[in-house]
Structure 1
Amino acid sequence: MQEFDITVNTVGDHPKQIEKLHVPEGTTFLKIAMDMQEKYKELYPDVIMLVLYNGKLRELNKKVNEDGSVAFVSVRDRDGKRTYRRSVTIMMQKAVDNLWGKDNVRVRVYYSLGNGYYCELKGTKCTQDKIKALDEEMVRLVQQDIPITKKSTKTDKAEEMFRDFGMKDKERLLHYRRSSRVNIYDLDGMKDYYYGFMAPSTGCLSAFKLEPYEEGFVLMFPDSISGDVEPLVTSNKLFHTLKESRQWSRMLGFGTIGALNDAIASGKGEDIILTQEALMEDRIGALASLIAENRDKKFIMIAGPSSSGKTTFSHRLSIQLSAKGLIPHPVGLDDYYLNRVDTPKDASGKYDFECLEALDIEQFNRDMTALLAGEAVSMPTYNFKTGMREYRGNTLKLGPEDVLVIEGIHGLNDKLSYSLPAESKFRIYISALTQLDIDEHNPLPTTDARLIRRIVRDARTRGISAQSTIAMWDSVRSGEEKYIFPFQEGADVMFNSALVYELAVLKTYAEPLLFAIPRDCPEYLEAKRLLKFLDYFIPLPTEGIAQNSLIREFIGGSCFQV
């Protein structure tokens, strides 16, 4: 029997060799992973989900077929975390079928909430007793350690199968797949299509929790840092914003990618754009009216995560405020950066421009307090080339109708504006909360949509490659977790900046940038995943998109300076 030489390495930017193995032909990566966990418990304390084999992600049930290197991906790694969530979701789906029969009750996964997925049962009322029964059935499936197997199937056959199952969203999704084959997963006779890899069996999926919430429940997953399933911590305002967005998508006629593709394929692309843009303009106008009703609000504080469209939103809000009789003045918090030499540094010795202390908080409060008192203030401009704050003769004085529209990542943090009366501030949290689902059981990750927006904008406005944008994305997300998300519940209003059609537009711009990433770099795997994701969409031309559209901030052609 043939043997293969395998080098076991760690995962990460600077992998280290752990051991060299000689394994017989037919050995699964699961067998190697179990042996390594037994031998190196301190290196592999977490559940292993996938293997990186010669630079390619592989499921653990796959077999070694050549010499090479392997690195094991755990539930705390980005791809392992996604795989774990996906696998627990299919196990939950199987538990629902076992309890109530797939023709009577179905589970629908709607969106990420806290560290889990918000789900509802369709066909029955979601009671405490039913949630408890579902939890117990999932525990039983874990104890049975049932294999999760994969089979390649012709796409048209899979489409036909899901039509027979009554899974219309999956049928629609696969109808537009250009690939001639798709992978169908089987869990004890229950077949389904999922967006990505799966765990080898249910036995490794013991860490989960079901928490009742609103009309349904949240399927909770292990925390990336502690590895434990922590109690649900989420924003009720965020939930209701997501729920409202879902209702908007239903009103427009498409809540899934397949439904959007149907509309584009039938020639309704321009109608989609015009309807969505009219809806967004109406929402911005309603928000301006709310602000205008209370003339004590002098500081409109806008914050949100990367690529939420904050700049375009602030311009459009300012126009609507003008139409309501107010005089808006944009203020960028970036202009209050400390001089670069005075900027705090992070643990690695690099300037930390994300932290609150990178801003001149004292000067900001002196200026804002003076403006509130009716004094004239010389406003700063930050020169990013020199790293210095400058004064260029921009003097501002607030009258009865004047308001400041202040945009920046720390806008909702009261430590930034500690000296300003609470009644003078109106706080807006903005994020691109995607309205579409991939299908019944695969929510569309909001972070993926924002990452694609940023890849397109970085390449167009800053000359930054998609590889570089992906490489820095984890750091960006870490900053959001520390400086933005904790303050979202304190907002007076949450605004969803996602456009239902945007990924069909961004596809044309993002694909060439992602294809340019070399196969031998760490970012290639993420680029490949995003390309597969974009392949679900039919492209939509940009001719019908207005110059003031929020998507223009990313693809170009905006009438605003963005």
Structure 2
Amino acid sequence: MSNKNSFTNNSHSIKAMINNDLLELPKGTKLEEIAKSFNESGKNKLVAALVDNELKELNYAIDEDCEIKFLSIMSTIGSRIYQRSLVFVFIRSCMELFSGCKVSVEHSISGGLYCEVHYKRTIDEKDTERINERMKEIIAEDVPFMKTRIPVDEAKEIFRDYGQTGKVRLLKYREKPYINLYQNGWLKNYFYGYMVPSTGYLDEFNLHYYKPGIVIQFPKIELKGEIGEFKEHPKLFKVFREAEKWGEILEIDYVASLNDLIVSKKEGEFIRIAEALHEKKIAEIADMISEHPDKKRVILIAGPTSSGKTTFAQRLMIQLKVNGIKPVSISLDDYFVDREKTPLDEYGEYDFESLYAIDLDSFNRDLTALLSGDEVKLPHFNFHTGKREYKGNTLKIMENQPIILEGIHALNDELTKSIEKSKKFKIYISALTQLNVDEHNRIPTTDTRLIRRIVRDFKYRSNDAVRTLSLWESVRRGEEKNIFPFQEDADVMFNSALFYELSLLKKSAEPLLRQVDSTNPYFSEAKRLLKFLSYFVALENEIDIPRTSILREFIGGSAFN
């Protein structure tokens, strides 16, 4: 960049390594000032930085020699900061336009965040346009986000005045006597994460009225910074609504409610009800299949990693047997093509998650033969040699015996292209938690699944947290490509999240995350997850967790192992 060396000041200067360039900068230079010289075009916004591997906001001043790595909105961390800051502006706009309203940030949907504005009347499409205009005005004003540290008791009073009881109750469990608040204009708020320096950074967003709430859309990494087309997801939205009703049944809204139960030693009944809701839903799905056993011959189960697919499939088989149906299962892994025939990804590596890593012709030929009543020789894939083998295993099924198939491509009709759609029953499963930290800090589904996987990978695969974190970005890319586009094709969706699970997983996940060294590239992510888990009171006793629980797939002790 032409103006990089404009910072040079030999009398009171420090040295900073940025993008393999060693720069001399005046002591006390803010990251934002440096970032501007590395982003002259204004594209691919830089919104934060890693300073010697520690995440810092752009208003951070450099006082000593360091290495700086800037983060744009095209990074996972940068994208979160952008979203969080945009939500702050949304909340402020709503509170200004609809005096006395309460805003709740609910969950992700259609490449955005679904929020509700609770007011004396129902918010409509015209109101959404007004909020959109007010947000644009605040962004055009380039209002700074100012961070201040205040005592917890003072913060409680602020949130009481705003009517944000979830935040007030959560602060009861705050270990430190102070809290960092952000202020933008008149509004003060708390978020567990950093903000952009000012509202002028937030000029790309869309609002969509999605009755009874509003979806905030923002630039997406997987779309190379573009905002995706808004698509309705009625089935997914229905599952989130169902989770909200389950929360009402369990009398739990935010993390503070869960903490209260654990501290008062009343979690036992809560756990049993939560598990019973799961069992009831699985039984209902089994009943749907049992109504037409002669038609629903192939049961397809798909979902992202750490959704609990294996345990769900086992529990579904039990419920089908209760209904007099005897399902069989086939492993898609046994139909992998020989390793040297595996497709390559964009990096030239074997893409084992590709649909075409499966021998579709052989698989469909066997599937068709089984449904026709023929006896089929089943293959076995030898992962040591990378070859398919036949060891004399055969299978023949009756007319009323469905075949259960579980895998990432199960909802993609190309996998079962030889089977009529009318004979398929598709199930999408994911951990779609509706429990949030408070009114404005949601619990992303991806974080729940990541913590599940960290615990499981250590217990069953001898992987430390660094190994799991290093694989996560690739896993997420595969999900965006192979799973999420097909979720609305499912006949039914199952939410595998359990309201109490993060309190249970906390005791196993925290020690693993603390082992991530400060020099490790995944240190900031481990630190973020530790901060997230700090809001939960640990559930130490596993005695109330059934051996058939989906969580047993991750913590151990499952009846299905």
TM-score, shorter chain, exceeding 0.5: yes
8 A contact 2:182–2:189 mirrored in 1:
yes
8 A contact 2:306–2:449 mirrored in 1:
yes
What is the deviation of 1:175? 1.4
In structure 2, distance between residues paired with 1:529 and 1:408: 30
- Residue 29 (1) aligns with residue 28 (2): no
In structure 1, distance between residues paired with 2:161 and 2:262: 25
8 A contact 2:138–2:199 mirrored in 1:
yes
* 1:348-377 CA-partner distances (Å, limit 9, x unpaired): 222110000000111110111001100111
- Residue 549 (1) aligns with residue 549 (2): yes
What is the deviation of 1:9? 2.5
- Residue 7 (1) aligns with residue 16 (2): yes
Aligned residue in 2 for 1:560: 560
- Residue 129 (1) aligns with residue 131 (2): no
Match of 2:182 among 182, 185, 194: 185
- Residue 456 (1) aligns with residue 452 (2): no
Determine helix, strand or coil for the equivalent of 2:353. coil
What is the deviation of 1:8? 4.4
Determine helix, strand or coil for the equivalent of 2:61. coil
Relative to structure 1, the CA distance from residue 8 to residue 139 in structure 2 (aligned partners, 3 Å threshold; closer, same or farther) is: farther
In structure 2, distance between residues paired with 1:178 and 1:382: 52
Match of 1:105 among 92, 101, 107: 101
What is the deviation of 1:174? 1.8
Aligned residue in 1 for 2:3: none
Map 1:235-246 onto structure 2 (within 5 A). 235-246=233-244
Aligned residue in 1 for 2:72: 74
8 A contact 1:112–1:443 mirrored in 2:
no
What is the root-mean-square deviation in Å for CA atoms of aligned residues?
1.5
Identity %, equivalent residues: 44
8 A contact 1:380–1:390 mirrored in 2:
yes
Deviates more, 1:205-214 or 1:446-455: 205-214
Determine helix, strand or coil for the equivalent of 1:37. coil
Deviates more, 1:358-367 or 1:25-34: 25-34
Map 1:507-546 onto structure 2 (within 5 A). 507-540=506-539, 541-546=541-546
Deviates more, 1:330-339 or 1:411-420: 330-339
The one-letter amino acid paired with 1:34 is K
Aligned residue in 2 for 1:382: 381
Determine helix, strand or coil for the equivalent of 1:71. strand
Determine helix, strand or coil for the equivalent of 2:219. coil
In structure 2, distance between residues paired with 1:6 and 1:435: 47
Determine helix, strand or coil for the equivalent of 1:57. strand
8 A contact 1:3–1:22 mirrored in 2:
no
What is the deviation of 1:45? 2.6
What is the deviation of 1:234? 4.4
In structure 2, distance between residues paired with 1:321 and 1:335: 24
Determine helix, strand or coil for the equivalent of 1:206. coil
The one-letter amino acid paired with 1:100 is F
Map 1:149-168 onto structure 2 (within 5 A). 149-168=146-165
In structure 2, distance between residues paired with 1:534 and 1:78: 19
In structure 1, distance between residues paired with 2:69 and 2:17: 6
TM-score (norm 2): 0.95
* 1:164-188 CA-partner distances (Å, limit 9, x unpaired): 4321111122211223322111111
Determine helix, strand or coil for the equivalent of 1:380. strand
Aligned residue in 2 for 1:321: 320
Deviates more, 1:377-386 or 1:537-546: 377-386
What is the deviation of 1:36? 2.7
8 A contact 2:14–2:26 mirrored in 1:
no
In structure 1, distance between residues paired with 2:168 and 2:526: 26
The one-letter amino acid paired with 1:31 is E
The one-letter amino acid paired with 1:391 is Y
In structure 1, distance between residues paired with 2:329 and 2:155: 53
In structure 1, distance between residues paired with 2:92 and 2:161: 18
In structure 2, distance between residues paired with 1:73 and 1:237: 35
Aligned residue in 2 for 1:13: none
What is the deviation of 1:512? 1.0
Deviates more, 1:186-195 or 1:343-352: 343-352
Aligned residue in 2 for 1:286: 284
In structure 2, distance between residues paired with 1:35 and 1:414: 50
Determine helix, strand or coil for the equivalent of 2:123. coil
Map 1:74-473 onto structure 2 (within 5 A). 74-101=72-99, 104-123=100-119, 124-224=121-221, 225-295=223-293, 296-473=295-472
> Which blocks of at least 5 consecutive residues in structure 2 are unaligned?
1-8
8 A contact 1:156–1:175 mirrored in 2:
no
In structure 2, distance between residues paired with 1:66 and 1:560: 55
Aligned residue in 1 for 2:6: none
In structure 1, distance between residues paired with 2:385 and 2:504: 36
In structure 2, distance between residues paired with 1:93 and 1:524: 31
The one-letter amino acid paired with 1:361 is L
Q: Post-superposition, which runs of at least 4 consecutive aligned residues in structure 1 deviate over 6 A?
A: none
8 A contact 1:502–1:551 mirrored in 2:
yes
- What is the aligned length? 548
8 A contact 1:6–1:70 mirrored in 2:
no
TM-score (norm 1): 0.95
> Which blocks of at least 5 consecutive residues in structure 1 are unaligned?
11-16
Deviates more, 1:201-210 or 1:328-337: 328-337
